[in-house]
């Protein structure tokens, strides 16, 4: 189980790949916006040194002044063969996910497992964002992917469906949920 704490208070909890849930005792939930897709999105160009970012899913919200947007994403990330996948989360054009790994200062990466299989990675992430909007401005949050090398990257699928017999491909819906909260 994962918890998002803001100001020492549990705001959101999440278990496994279940959708995130609001914790009891929240000060105020102003609105919730959500979007889901069941298609596979492929990044088939670019590289780590010359990224070509592909939009996967997005959702817009018009928050009031002084609130926090809690961005929750659930998705399956896969990569072909020995390649890795890069992903990031944006508010409009500003990156809001912060990778604290000094070995990967610019991007989050994921690829195949240590056995050489390609099971994909089920990723759930929760990111609080102080948006700075004025109450009438639409803010768009989005997930983007890019392949790391010369082989394809997938969201919504662990590996190319045409290779399912060899690599046990699996798929899952991609979800983005935005919680606007006043603490």
Domain CATH number, residue 144: 2.60.120.1340
User: Is residue 17, in this structure, part of any structural domain at all?
Assistant: no
User: Is residue 18, in this structure, part of any structural domain at all?
Assistant: no
Task: Tell me the pLDDT band of 167, cut-offs 50, 70 and 90.
Answer: very low
- 54: pLDDT strictly greater than 90: yes
Listed in sequence order, the residues at least 6 apart from 100 whose beta carbon sits closer than 8 Å to its beta carbon are none
Please give the residue that has the higher pLDDT: either 8 or 91.
91
- First-last CA distance in the chain: 22
Average pLDDT, the chain: 78
User: Is residue 47, in this structure, part of any structural domain at all?
Assistant: yes
pLDDT in tens, 108-132: 555 555 544 455 677 888 888 989 8
DSSP reduced 3-state for 124? strand
User: Is residue 41, in this structure, part of any structural domain at all?
Assistant: yes
Structure tokens at 86: 């890069």
Q: How many domains does the chain have?
A: 1
């Amino acid at each position: 189980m994962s918890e998002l704490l803001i100001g020492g208070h549990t705001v959101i909890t999440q278990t496994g790949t279940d959708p995130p849930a609001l914790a009891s005792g929240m000060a105020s939930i102003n609105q919730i916006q959500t979007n889901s897709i069941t298609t596979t999105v492929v990044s088939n160009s670019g590289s780590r040194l010359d990224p070509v970012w592909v939009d996967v899913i997005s959702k817009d919200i018009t928050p009031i002044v002084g609130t926090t947007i809690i961005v929750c994403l659930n998705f399956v990330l896969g990569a072909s063969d020995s390649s890795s996948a890069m992903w990031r989360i944006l508010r409009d054009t500003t990156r809001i996910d912060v990778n604290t790994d000094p070995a990967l200062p610019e991007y989050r990466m994921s690829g195949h497992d240590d056995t050489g299989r390609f099971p994909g990675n089920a990723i759930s992430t929760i990111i609080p964002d102080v948006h700075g909007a004025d109450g009438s401005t639409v803010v768009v949050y989005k997930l983007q992917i890019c392949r790391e090398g010369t082989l394809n990257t997938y969201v919504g699928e662990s590996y190319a469906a045409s290779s399912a017999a060899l690599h046990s491909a699996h798929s899952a819906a991609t979800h983005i949920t935005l919680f606007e909260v006043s603490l």
